[in-house]
Amino acid sequence: MMELRIGHTRLSAHPFLLLLPLLGLHLGLGVELTATLIALVVHESAHLLAARLAGVRVERLRLMPFGGAIQPGNLYALSPGQLLAVAAAGPAGNLLALTVAAALAQWGVLTPGIALLHLRVNLALMLFNLFPGLPLDGGRMLYALTNKRLGRSRSVTLGILLGRVAAAGLFTLVLRGIAETGHWNVSLTACAIFILASAPEERRALADLNVASPLNALRDVGDPIDLKLCAVDEGCAVLRALRRTSPDAATLYAVYHENRLAAFTDERALLELALNDREAVVGSAV
């Protein structure tokens, strides 16, 4: 990825993105490629505008050969209203774009053929992103609407499962195209692979939030509170050890090295360590 910074936002572009214009010209698809790029710009610009209006700081915008994705910090840390607004803005932008294209054709500004191309591209991008599977916009909206009722983990799992259904559908279309026309749709294949590859990232983002939430909730000890003592080997994973914490008591960890008591640490030290390194072990905190 090549990156540059615009204000507070990091803009990253996949190297293969630079090959798309050359590929489009070589295949005689310059007009189609231009319409697709315009639809993607409208889609991502709508996300960025909605994020700004909702008071959400966008840390990164990724541009890839098959689309783009904004990263406003940890998506799962946003309120349901913020997440719903930011996610819905992309498809809404494409709906506006196809409406404008139809109006321009009606007024004679665009030829019917060009207008139809913009209508088809924007409609396809809008409907694809409205599918309720992660990491698509529809999956974000589904999470925003269901996480209070189902819980964060189950809601993300549901979104990932539906995302895999979408990927399976895309692979089916690719295979059907190969069988009927002999042509391999690279764009649909790339979209399906992207959806499947996003699942670990979605789970990591949720895990980061689950770790950060109790860290932010910790308060300095004032009046006496209950203390929970937990014995743990220095090689134990930090995230596993943190499952022993309790909301009603502070947790102190007795860290053992080769079955001998080596040191003590507490939940705050482990939480701070986990935020910096998900794969860290308890021994790194002492």
157 and 194 part of one domain: yes
Of 44, 201, 234, 267, which residue is the catalytic one? 44
261 and 122 part of one domain: no
Q: Is the pLDDT of residue 171 over 60?
A: yes
The residue segments making up the domain with residue 38 are 2-213
Q: What's the distance, Cα to Cα, between the start and end of the chain in Å?
A: 36
123 in Cβ contact with 55 (< 8 Å) = no
194 and 268 part of one domain: no
Predicted pLDDT at 228: 82
Query: What would the two tokens of residue 77 be?
Result: 């840390």
Q: Which residue type, as a one-letter code, is found at position 43?
A: H
CA angle 94, 38, 191 (to 5 degrees): 75
236 and 117 part of one domain: no
Q: Which residue among 167, 187, 213 closes a domain?
A: 213
Predicted pLDDT at 79: 84
Q: Is the pLDDT of residue 132 over 90?
A: yes
Most confident of 59-68, 156-165, 213-222, 250-259: 156-165
150 and 203 part of one domain: yes
44 as an active site residue: the answer is: yes
Predicted pLDDT at 221: 58
pTM over 0.75: no
Predicted pLDDT at 94: 94
- DSSP secondary structure code for residue 249 in this structure: B
The pair phi, psi for residue 5, each rounded to 5°, is -110, 130
Q: How many domains does the chain have?
A: 2
Residue 29 CB contacts under 8 Å (≥ 6 apart), including other chains: none
Least reliable range by pLDDT among 45-54, 164-173, 207-216 = 207-216
Q: Is the pLDDT of residue 213 over 60?
A: no
206 and 226 part of one domain: no
Residue 251 CA to residue 210 CA, distance in Å, equals: 17
pLDDT top residue among 143 and 190:
143
Least reliable range by pLDDT among 37-51, 142-156, 173-187, 201-215 = 201-215
How high is the mean pLDDT of the chain? 80
103 and 167 part of one domain: yes
Q: What is the mean pLDDT of residues 87-113?
A: 92
281 and 183 part of one domain: no
